Amino acid sequence: MNNSRLYLSLFNLNNQIITMSNNHIIEQIIKQADIVKIIGKHVELKKSGNEFKGCCPFHGEKTPSFFVNPEKGFYNCFGCGVKGNALTFLKEYENMTAGEALKELSRQTGIELPKEKIDKNLTYQRKPKQTNNQFGNGWGNNSNNSNNLNNNQQNFIQNFNDEYYQNFPPNVDNDNLSSQDIHENFHHHFDNPSVDNDVNGHFADNFSDNTANFLIEEQSDGSSSLYDLLTQVAIFYQQQLIKNNLAMNYFKTRGLTDNTIADFALGYAPSGWQHLEQAFPRDIDGLKILGLIRTSEKGRDYDLLRNRVIFPIRDNQGQVIGFAGRAMNDDDMPKYVNSSDSPVFHKQQILYGLYEGRQARAKNWLVVEGYMDVISLHQAGVYGAVASMGTAIATNQIDKLLQLNPVLTLSFDGDSAGQKAAWRAMEMGLPVLNDGKELRFLTLPNNHDPDSFVKAHGATAMQQQIHNAISLSQYLFSVLSQKYDVKSAEDRSKFLRDIYDLTKKLPKGTYGWLLREDMKNRLGLGFNKTQKNNFSQDALLNFHNELTPLLLLQMCFLYQPELLINSDSQSQSQSQATPFLLEYILLASGANKVPLFHSNIKKSDLQPIYDVNDENYQPTDDEKKSEYARVERLLKAESELEIRTQQYFQQNPLPNLTWQSVVDEQTLSLIQWIEKVQKNIDDLQTSLTKSNANAFEIINAKAHFIMAGVSAEHQQLLISHWVKFFDELSRREVTDVSSLVTEILAKQLLDWADNQMAIYSKVNVLYVNLFNKRHQAIYEWFQKWLQQKVN
């Protein structure tokens, strides 16, 4: 059996089994596919005999071991063993389903797939064509027939005046409208078409793009596919968007580009009550099945989506299956109106943005709250954001995302509604968290949502936020430690009871037991106070994201200003003071003594000493006879290099590391002020201790004394965050925030090393190498430090 039959002996396409009788067509499609062109979009391929070679896209490698044979239509990697044809590449690398991949190859080759029999449940009966239908040719379709347009308008006004206002859809507030009010309102629109063309596109959005231009394939029995109808409705909404300035301006003011608007097929639904009926007079039955046309209690048909910008909803194959309409004015409620469930649309099975994310070959997936969050992230290059259809995300939806990547991040707003949604999503995800799968949680700082954050700070900052999302265990501890008083035995019992109930929802495995044990440890049961403090600090560091790292650092210095005491000038021991200074991290990590390697210095600088790995070096006779002679040469080369580099840096010294190197001006001014008034702070503590004030009263008093000495603007910023910060830590009985400071500073130093590499990248390769090694040393030390803290 050849490769095509191996992969396609039985092939599922849109739930229809393609039998062996059609396999010759499928084999022909695969054979005709340009596999070099398909793979060449993602891999730089170079000609190598009868084949092409490049670095394998399925695993990281520097030496090409990935070969593509255009004659056989096959690829093979000798490094990781992956192999296949054009179909398998689209499935495995571009994350397409088998059906999607085959359709794409059919499109590329021009070979049509066998016609599928349409499921009767997914069809509707079209009305017969009518030659004298009032709206059948569309309003204003004939520019030379303005009299007919006016007659149509007058007829509609008369019908409306006689009957329509009596049968208004039930969701219209017509209690305060008289027939005369409504009649005058419609006259106003007809007599002043420019008003609605710019404001809400009522009748002035004349439907010149009517059913004659919407190609809906009709079967011999007069039926048509609901999918075809949805596609044409999406085109209709897109056409209306182009004609409506207000709707287009809504998307533009939200920062969307023309390409993004086109990629997501965004549109606009006019404000008329029957615009779909006018545009699709033969397809009303289908529109009712889809829920796009509703019938009022008095039997009058009306459109579901009116005067709203439109977000088409696509399934995994990219077919339009429904729509979401958003009000352009935030005061209009409901803000979103979604298609109701239909034979092709089931809210609990669809995720908005999943198709677009897979098309962009997203690797990391992020659940967000809104459609605009999905679109803005995608436009910025942060692929993989999805949103549920106006309902809480379901277990099967989370399971689907975890199949694409075992780590899934949930990003919800920091307000009460957003956090309730996050908790609900967490509960929905527990049943599918098999060992090896993970949920992470992200609340963006300063009340940002993903849409606003990525526009304000860019894709790199958003990616960093996603990278720093907290784990399920951190999330649970953060939420429950705010719900319960962890100092109370009774509340601890309730805390652990909630954890037990939640872990019962997990699949069988070790994760539940580990999670329960972790929660006990975080409560300090069986651990000493320092470890308990560390866990409590972790909750603040990871959960209260309204604080930037530097603002959090300022809060820590207000909470424990003695961390800034210099051991050289104070009586504090070194273990109490210097571990929290920048110099300590460089010293502890060895970053201040990183070696420089010979490969970063030109050979001409060290002649006649050669690179250790120089293949062109001709060994001497002694070296040919003795391996010892070769080793001796290499040691001499390294010794010479060390001398040269030391001399170089003596002549070209690097600037000293200071607080100013890694913190902003506000943090620096606070540090300098605390160092200046340390004597006063000590005196205040002594006085409060004599008056029998407890530890947290002293902490609060010292913080307010410090804040009183900074600028008014800085003081207002600190006070706005201090109350919550102090309350959270004091309630957990945390008195030592040293590990929290160490963690923040380590991350700041990593950023500092990155920045230095960028600065010196155009100046000197030796400096770049030095900071690269410093970054690596700090990173390795930091990972060990984190592990030791937990253990």
Does domain 3-120 fall into CATH 3.90.580.10? yes
* Bridge partners of residue 413, in order along the sequence: none
pLDDT at 57: 84
Looking at the chain, the domain(s) classified CATH 3.90.580.10 span 3-120
Q: Report pLDDT digits (tens) over 306-337.
A: 999 999 999 987 889 999 999 998 888 888 89
**Residue 691 pLDDT:** 87
Contact of 753 with 768, CB cutoff 8 Å: no
For residue 352, give the DSSP letter: B
pLDDT at 674 over 70: yes
SS3 content of the chain, % helix, strand, coil (to 5): 55, 10, 35
What's the pLDDT score for residue 428?
94
Whether the predicted pLDDT of 459 surpasses 70: yes
| pLDDT confidence of residue 25 | 81
773 vs 590: CA distance, rounded Å: 10
Query: Where does the pLDDT of residue 439 fall: very low under 50, low under 70, confident under 90, or very high at 90 and above?
Result: very high
| Tokens representing residue 745 in the block | 């500073």
Highest mean pLDDT among 127-141, 300-314, 462-476: 300-314
pLDDT higher than threshold 80 for residue 644? no
Among 385-399, 495-509, 589-603, whose mean pLDDT is lowest?
Answer: 589-603
Q: What's residue 737's pLDDT? A: 83
Task: Quote the pLDDT of residue 425.
Answer: 94
Q: Which residues contact 743 (CB under 8 A, 6 or more apart)?
A: 541, 786
Q: Check pLDDT > 80 for residue 90.
A: yes
Tell me which of 270 and 518 has the higher pLDDT: 270
CB 291 within 8 A of CB 276: no
The band of 558, judged by pLDDT with boundaries at 50, 70 and 90, is very high
| Percentage of the chain exceeding pLDDT 70 | 70
Residue 127 C-alpha from the chain's centroid: 45
pLDDT band at 4 (very low <50, low <70, confident <90, very high): very low
In contact, 313 and 322? CB cutoff 8 Å: yes
Residues of the chain with CATH 3.90.980.10: 190-335
Which pLDDT does position 105 carry in this prediction? 87
List pLDDT tens digits, range 206-265. Answer: 444 444 457 787 877 888 889 999 999 999 999 999 999 999 999 999 999 999 999 999
Distance CA 26, CA 22 (A): 7
- Segments of 252-292 assigned E as strands: 267-269
Between 349 and 159, the more confident residue is 349
pLDDT for res 134: 44
Q: Is the pLDDT of residue 151 over 60?
A: no
pLDDT bin (cut points 50, 70, 90) of residue 31 is: confident
The answer to which of 1-5, 126-130, 478-482, 675-679 has the lowest mean pLDDT is 1-5
**For the chain, how many residues are written?**
791
User: What is the C-alpha separation between 403 and 437, in angstroms, rounded?
Assistant: 9
Q: Which of 230, 469, 257, 259 is nearest to 366 (CA)?
A: 469
* Average pLDDT of the residues in 85-94: 85
CATH top class, domain 190-335: alpha beta
Average pLDDT score over residue span 677-699: 88
| Encoded tokens for 619 | 């060994």
Average pLDDT over residues 404-412: 91
Q: Is residue 206 within 8 Å of 139, Cβ to Cβ? A: yes
The arithmetic mean of pLDDT across residues 82-106, rounded, is: 83
Helices marked H in 387-449? 395-404, 416-429
Across the range 332-343, mean pLDDT stands at 88
Residue 736: name the closest of 572, 541, 537 by CA.
Answer: 537
More confident residue, 508 or 397: 397
User: What is the token pair recorded at 76?
Assistant: 């093979």
| Average pLDDT estimate for 609-631 | 55
pLDDT at 469 over 60: yes
Relative to beta strand 74-77, strand 365-368 is unpaired
The answer to which of 351-355, 470-474, 702-706 has the lowest mean pLDDT is 470-474
Looking at residue 22, its pLDDT comes to: 62
Answer yes or no: is pLDDT of 631 > 90: no
pLDDT at position 398:
93
Lowest mean pLDDT across 353-357, 571-575, 699-703: 571-575
